């Protein structure tokens, strides 16, 4: 109740579900030193100087071991100052231990329903194996399996958010219908709970309960949550829509329904609800939270907007402007949200290749989170590890591999400890960092470390997939793909066929897992395409081809060494050694490879003619050049004529050399040069190497005519 001048706000704090008053709760306003402590009746009276009806204030409710219920944050919330001085503020709280116990009970009920559906899917898969001769029945059953699997995937993804929303229901303020339904749900009877809330009964209650309007809206919300828990997403959507149609001013409901629609890929409706929420009389904190969620929804989502990343960046930056302002007043309360938005903006900027800006955003988030961890490690260690992971990804993208490794290792150290205490919650995040570390080590060519990191990641993902294949099989497939690409790289480095076989084994596992996606699923389709393409590529590498590639790799390495050798005589010696190696390889090769290697041999002979000229051996160069030019079946060797002309010129056979120069002068040599330019460059290179002849001046004069 407000006093005269509306400078005093009165209210009461009660326990969730029982409605009993709570004594000793400290009530305060953001940025104001004064506070009020609830009495034996749970009542409080808070001075709000300078405020008037309609103003929205942020209130804090604090009592050790307790949390606020039914608000976007469990310690603080917003309230508009009432114009009716008799209207009290009601704050509902719960013991943290009770909240956790209630969430565990709700989660168990949902997990039971997921287990039932998975059992049904497994039974249908077994039946599918027996329908080998009936393609129509197989197709129908496969589509049914895929639909059920998709439902499991969606509920698994939204389970924790759903549990949180259900746990916020205050049964002391709920309708009798909701109370009875929750009794059944708590027993694990989801379908019985839904049956107690038929649509016609809810609609009738809403129509006749205008004096209990809030209860009618809450009925729809509660039933929608039950329906989600029973994997009936379409019916849940309709009940959520009814709740919003009846009351589009309830911020918590708008937020919950927008999140649900986002998970259902109904992005336009979710965006509309978030934008609707921004028009309500809400606090700056709530506005920032909505803008952050809106940015997250838009980021990279071409189905949500024409220019999603541009709109997302605008939303994130607006949220940051607000959060910086309010965090300056109360860092303890608002720094965590500031760090979260900075992380989201960093991810967007990194995806847009704005690496410098992204790094600034991540660094700022990291500094905030390190301070928060010092204060409350249990709450902020995971956000810190995620930020470290993001920085590792960024440093990998800009090829700063040492820095990336440092960030990944610190993230792993945190995630391993968290996973030891709570594997169900943290194993997925741990596997993701191991996978990223494998990619990093592969780029650094630290192959043993890369192999180890990929193995650990794959082991974790497979363990998760064994417990819930619908939720984690795609993560296994992605890791299999990355690991198979790594094995292919090893195969090409070592020319060892065992790596090909290991890669194919990984890809075969993918094909088996992807068989369960019988109707279109975008990620599954992409992984199927990538898996089949990589399989085809690997199948093209026979042991003979790998041996051939190994020989060519050695030749290329030898040629690079010869090119770097500064002494002409050693160049000649090493080139002759290379020719001997090629002769040996040709003898041991298959007929197909023999022809290809012979082509390399003739090219290497052509290169030797140039090295002989650098070593001032024109007679030997002439003999070899004429021999090479007789090979007309192994590619274009016409370029050797430039070396033949040099060999003739430097032996004093001017007329023969002049004939070659005159024939080719001015004609195209390649896309960038003509023969005249090549001839003149060769003369310059020999002169620079100290190889001289008096007829060179004639050649230059002829070529420059």
Q: What is the pLDDT of residue 131?
A: 61
d(CA 450, CA 446): 6
* Mean pLDDT in residue range 251-256: 90
| pTM beyond 0.85 | no
Please state, for a pLDDT cut of 70, what percent of the chain lies above it.
95
Q: How many residues does the chain have?
A: 705
At CB < 8 A and 24+ separation, what contacts does 359-363 make? 359/391, 359/394, 362/387, 362/390, 362/391, 362/394, 363/391
**What digits encode the pLDDT tens for the residues 187-212?**
989 999 999 999 988 888 887 755 56
For position 360, what pLDDT does the model report? 97
Higher confidence at residue 44 or residue 209? 44
**Straight-line distance from the first to the last Cα atom of the chain, in angstroms, rounded to the nearest whole number:** 106
- 99 versus 207: the higher-pLDDT residue is 99
pLDDT digits (tens, 9 = 90+) for 549-604: 878 888 888 888 999 999 999 999 999 999 999 999 888 888 878 888 888 899 99
Bridging pattern class, strands 56-62 and 26-29:
antiparallel
More confidently predicted of 516 and 65: 65
Which of 187-191, 421-425, 672-676, 691-695 is predicted least confidently?
Answer: 421-425
By the 8 A CB rule, do 453 and 435 touch?
A: yes
Higher pLDDT, 212 or 688: 688
Q: Distance between CA 277 and CA 286 in Å, rounded?
A: 9
Span 89-96, mean pLDDT?
A: 91
Cβ proximity of 333 and 75 under 8 Å: yes
**Per-residue pLDDT band at 45 (split at 50, 70, 90):** confident
CB atoms within 10 A of CB 493: 12
Say what the pLDDT of residue 211 is.
52
Map tokens 């650990």 to a residue: 456
User: Measured between alpha carbons, how far is 60 from 25 in angstroms, rounded to an integer?
Assistant: 10
- How far apart, in Å, are the Cα atoms of 704 and each of 207, 364, 506, 648, 695? 101, 65, 63, 19, 15
Q: Give the pLDDT score at 577.
A: 94
Structure confidence at residue 3 (pLDDT): 38
What's the mean pLDDT in 389-396?
97
Average pLDDT rounded to a whole number, residues 607-627: 94
Distance CA 316, CA 267 (A): 18
Beta 89-95 vs 8-15: how paired, if at all?
parallel
**163, 165, 170, 171: CA torsion to nearest 10:** -50
Smallest Cα–Cα separation from 492: which of 479, 481, 503, 476?
503
Q: What is the mean pLDDT of residues 508-536?
A: 86
According to the model, what pLDDT value does residue 690 have?
A: 93
498 pLDDT band (50/70/90 cuts)?
very high
> What does the pLDDT read at residue 344?
95
Confidence of residue 134 (pLDDT cuts 50, 70, 90): low
Separation between Cα atoms, residue 9 and residue 7, nearest integer Å: 7
Cα–Cα dist 109/181, whole Å: 13
Per-residue pLDDT reduced to its tens digit, 314-341? 999 999 999 999 888 888 778 999 999 9
Mean per-residue pLDDT over the chain, rounded: 88
- pLDDT-derived band at 132 (thresholds 50, 70, 90) equals low
pLDDT score of 548: 82
> What Cα–Cα distance (Å) separates residue 470 from each residue in 124, 152, 513, 573?
14, 7, 10, 64
As a whole number of angstroms, the distance between CA 24 and CA 623 comes to 106
Percent of the chain having pLDDT more than 90?
A: 55
pLDDT category of residue 635 using cuts at 50, 70 and 90:
low
pLDDT of residue 74: 67
**Is the pLDDT reported for residue 483 higher than 70?**
yes
Q: Report yes or no: 259 and 161 within 8 Å, Cβ to Cβ.
A: yes
The confidence score (pLDDT) of residue 210 equals 54
């Amino acid at each position: 109740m407000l006093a005269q001048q509306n400078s005093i706000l009165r209210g009461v704090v009660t326990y969730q579900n029982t409605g009993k008053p709570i004594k000793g709760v400290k009530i305060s306003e953001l940025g104001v030193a004064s506070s009020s402590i609830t009495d034996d009746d749970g009542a409080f009276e808070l001075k709000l100087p300078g405020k008037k009806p309609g103003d929205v204030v942020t209130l804090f409710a604090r009592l050790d071991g307790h949390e606020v219920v039914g608000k976007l944050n469990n310690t603080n919330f917003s309230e508009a100052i009432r114009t009716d001085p008799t209207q009290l503020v009601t704050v509902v709280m719960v013991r943290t231990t009770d909240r956790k116990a209630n969430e565990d009970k709700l989660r168990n009920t949902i997990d039971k329903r997921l287990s039932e559906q998975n059992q049904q899917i497994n039974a249908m898969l077994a039946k599918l194996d027996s329908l080998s001769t009936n393609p129509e029945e197989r197709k129908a059953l496969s589509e049914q399996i895929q639909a059920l699997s998709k439902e499991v995937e969606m509920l698994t993804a939204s389970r924790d958010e759903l549990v949180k929303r259900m746990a916020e229901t205050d049964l002391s303020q709920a309708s009798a219908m909701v109370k009875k339904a929750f009794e059944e749900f708590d027993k694990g009877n989801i379908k019985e709970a839904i049956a107690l809330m038929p649509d016609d009964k809810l609609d009738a209650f809403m129509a006749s309960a205008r004096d209990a309007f809030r209860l009618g809206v809450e009925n729809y919300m509660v039933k929608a949550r039950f329906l989600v828990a029973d994997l009936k997403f379409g019916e849940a959507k309709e009940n959520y829509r009814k709740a919003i149609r009846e009351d589009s001013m309830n911020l918590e409901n708008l937020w919950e329904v927008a999140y649900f629609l986002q998970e259902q890929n109904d992005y336009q409706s979710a965006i509309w609800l978030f934008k609707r929420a921004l028009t309500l009389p809400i606090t700056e904190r709530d506005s920032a939270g909505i803008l952050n969620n809106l940015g997250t929804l838009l980021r990279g989502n071409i189905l949500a907007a024409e220019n999603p990343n541009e709109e997302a960046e605008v939303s994130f930056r607006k949220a940051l402007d607000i959060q910086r302002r309010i965090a300056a007043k109360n860092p303890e309360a608002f720094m965590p949200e500031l760090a979260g938005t900075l992380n989201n903006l960093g991810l967007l900027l990194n995806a847009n290749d704005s690496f410098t800006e992204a790094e600034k955003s991540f660094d700022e988030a990291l500094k905030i989170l390190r301070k928060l961890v010092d204060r409350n490690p249990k709450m902020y260690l995971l956000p810190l590890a995620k930020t470290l992971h993001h920085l590792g990804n960024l440093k990998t993208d800009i090829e700063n591999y040492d820095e990336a490794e440092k960030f990944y290792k610190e993230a792993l150290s945190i995630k391993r400890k968290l996973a030891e205490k709570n594997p169900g919650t943290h194993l997925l995040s741990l596997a993701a960092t191991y996978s990223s570390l494998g990619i990093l080590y592969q780029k650094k060519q630290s192959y043993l470390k890369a192999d180890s990191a990929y193995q650990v990641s794959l082991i974790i993902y497979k363990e998760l997939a064994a417990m819930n294949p619908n939720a984690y099989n795609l993560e296994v497939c992605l890791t299999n793909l990355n690991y198979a690409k790594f094995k292919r790289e090893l195969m090409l480095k070592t020319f060892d066929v065992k790596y090909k076989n290991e890669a194919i084994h990984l890809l075969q596992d993918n094909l088996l897992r992807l068989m369960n996606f019988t109707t279109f699923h975008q990620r599954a389709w992409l992984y199927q395409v990538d898996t089949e393409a990589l399989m085809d590529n690997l199948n093209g590498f026979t042991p003979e081809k790998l041996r051939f590639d190994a020989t060519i790799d050695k030749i290329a390495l030898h040629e690079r060494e010869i090119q770097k050798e500064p002494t002409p005589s050693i160049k000649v010696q090493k080139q002759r050694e290379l020719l001997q190696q090629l002769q040996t390889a040709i003898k041991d090769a298959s007929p197909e490879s023999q022809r290809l290697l012979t082509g390399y041999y003739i090219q290497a002979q052509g290169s030797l003619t140039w090295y002989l000229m650098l070593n001032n051996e024109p007679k030997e160069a002439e003999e070899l050049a004429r021999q090479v030019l007789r090979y007309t079946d192994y590619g274009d060797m016409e370029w050797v004529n430039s070396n033949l002309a040099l060999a003739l010129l430097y032996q004093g056979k001017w007329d023969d050399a002049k004939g070659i120069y005159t024939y080719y002068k001015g004609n195209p040599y390649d896309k960038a040069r003509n023969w005249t330019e090549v001839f003149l460059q060769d003369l310059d290179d020999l002169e620079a190497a100290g190889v001289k002849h008096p007829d060179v001046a004639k050649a230059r004069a002829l070529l420059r005519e």
